[in-house]
């Protein structure tokens, strides 16, 4: 038990940069599942909180298709900065949809028993010149 607590504290103490790659891998994997219309697999990257809200991968898939079409079938995905806000890790992602419009999405990430999970997504339209 003591080793588990020590490991948990060590992971929390890692700088955000050391956690960046596994966090980005989780987000990329979920987006790849969305592209394949594999909402069951995409749902596995969601936190327990998201599971409680949507209950099923079908409900989750419907929300993504209707509320986040740029993530469901993106033209381009660019990982940006990982930052800590009020103790939570947020990964900024720039997504360009199939119409060429860019969006900035902030993914709140939480540590799960087997890796990083997506706990929330906040979106705003990116202000790009020429798009």
What total number of domains does the chain contain? 1
Contact between 76 and 95 under an 8 Å Cβ cutoff? The reply is: yes
- Buried b or exposed e, range 56-89, using 16+ CB within 10 angstroms: ebeebbeebeeebebbbebeebebeebeeeeeeb
Q: Summarize pLDDT for 94-120 with one digit per residue, the tens.
A: 999 999 999 999 999 999 999 999 999
pLDDT value for 128: 55
Structure token digits, residue 129 = 């010149």
Range of the domain at 54: 2-125
Where are the extended beta strands (E) located within 1-131?
A: 76-85, 88-96, 102-112, 115-125
Query: pTM for the whole thing?
Result: 0.81
pLDDT value for 7: 47
CATH of the domain at 22: 3.10.450.50
40, part of any domain: yes
Q: Which of 123, 128, 121 is nearest to 54 (CA)?
A: 121
Distance of CA 53 to the CA centre of its chain: 16
19, part of any domain: yes
Strand order in the sheet with 76-85: 76-85, 88-96, 102-112, 115-125
54, part of any domain: yes
131, part of any domain: no
pLDDT value for 9: 47
50, part of any domain: yes
Q: Is 15's pLDDT higher than 70?
A: no
CB-based contacts of 105, cutoff 8 Å, min separation 6: 71, 92, 93, 94, 95, 121, 122, 123
Q: Summarize pLDDT for 54-109 with one digit per residue, the tens.
A: 999 999 999 999 999 999 999 999 999 999 999 899 999 999 999 999 999 999 99
């Amino acid at each position: 038990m003591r080793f588990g607590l020590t490991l948990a504290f060590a992971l929390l103490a890692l700088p955000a940069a050391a956690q960046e790659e596994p966090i980005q891998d989780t987000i990329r994997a979920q987006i790849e599942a969305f592209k394949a219309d594999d909402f069951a697999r995409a749902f596995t990257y969601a936190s327990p909180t998201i599971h409680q809200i949507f209950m099923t991968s079908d409900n989750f898939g419907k929300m993504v298709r209707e509320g986040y079409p740029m993530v469901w079938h993106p033209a381009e995905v660019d990982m940006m900065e990982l930052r800590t806000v009020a103790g939570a890790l947020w990964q900024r992602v720039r997504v360009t949809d199939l119409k060429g419009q860019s969006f900035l999405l902030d993914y709140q990430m939480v540590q799960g028993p087997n890796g990083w999970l997506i706990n929330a997504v906040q979106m705003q339209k990116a202000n790009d010149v020429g798009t």
